[in-house]
Amino acid sequence: MPGEEVSDALTAAQTLAQNGLGTVLTQLGENLTTLDEADRVREHYLGVFDQLKGRGSSIHVSVKPTQLGLDLSRDACDAHLEVLAAKAEDAGSFLWLDMEDSNYVDRTLDLFRRLRKNHPKVGVCLQSYLHRTPADLESLLPLAPAIRLVKGAYAEPPQVAFAAKKDTDRAFYELGSRLLAAAAGGGAYPIFGSHDIALVGRMVDRARELGVKDGAYEIHMLYGIRSAEQQSLVQEGRVVRTLISYGRSWFPWYMRRLAERPANVWFVLKSLAS
């Protein structure tokens, strides 16, 4: 994180833009307890989009549906997202729906489908380690969707998600290849969200094999992770965006993510060492 305030995130985004990197901003905090909190989150993001207006399309915004009251009222969450999607378009930006644990997949995809009917500049995240994701992807392809494919970081039981990294990696490549095949015909906009440089390289090679040009897909990574590799990908002609998190809820979020999946601890340690 560059800091706790949105101003810190915007300053970092401006610096990254000078080096050819786009960004995705997200405020930390989820699983609210009152709808008033969700209202405040909506107002916060409306203010963010006001600041993005006139900056071009290099900065996107990603929200978690639970930040907007999904646990409390699906109708309220849906209404908040409608407002934010319209605001994103007015600002010349883009709205992403982040994916949380497997209990939220159906509800999140339902929200996305409803948004996509009237708002082309919205996208959704899918997780390759979930067994259900190939079917979810096929169900979304008729919408010509923007999909950010990630491996997945939540602790899930083996009947829900792959336990072995090799199986998750295989699924990522297969799902990514399906997205690229659709993109070759203009039927999808794939985003590959991964710090696995070897896997990202395989997706770039697959895009080339299928005739998908560099501007027809993107690569997303976290702020401060694999920074040199992000810059190298830009220099090679790839479109790269850096996900910048900010907010005062960073400590409970960070500790929860480390506690729920030991692999997250190892990833952080390896990143610090490199």
Residue with tokens 């009222």: 73
| Residues paired with 147 in a beta bridge | 124, 190
Instruction: Say how many C-beta atoms besides its own lie within 10 A of residue 164's C-beta.
Output: 10
Closest CA to 99 of 30, 19, 158, 4: 30
Q: Distance between CA atoms of 242 and 223, rounded to whole angstroms?
A: 6
* φ and ψ of 21, to 5 deg: -100, 130
Q: How many CB atoms lie within 10 A of CB 35?
A: 15
Q: Compute the distance between CA of residue 249 and CA of residue 223 in angstroms, rounded to an integer.
A: 17
H-state helical runs in the chain: 6-18, 35-52, 74-90, 105-116, 133-140, 165-184, 197-210, 227-235, 250-260, 262-273
Q: Which of 98, 116, 238, 241 is catalytic?
A: 98
Q: Which of 42, 116, 136, 148 is catalytic?
A: 148
148 a catalytic residue: yes
Known catalytic membership, residue 113: no
Q: Which residue has the tokens 């207006």?
A: 53
Strand, coil or helix: what is 52? Answer: helix
User: If DSSP codes are grouped into helix, strand and coil, which group holds residue 96?
Assistant: strand
What proportions of the chain, in percent to the nearest 5, are helix, strand and coil? Answer: 55, 15, 30
Each residue of 62-87: b (16+ CB within 10 Å) or e? bbbbbbbbbbbeeebbbebbeebbbb
State the catalytic residues: 98, 148
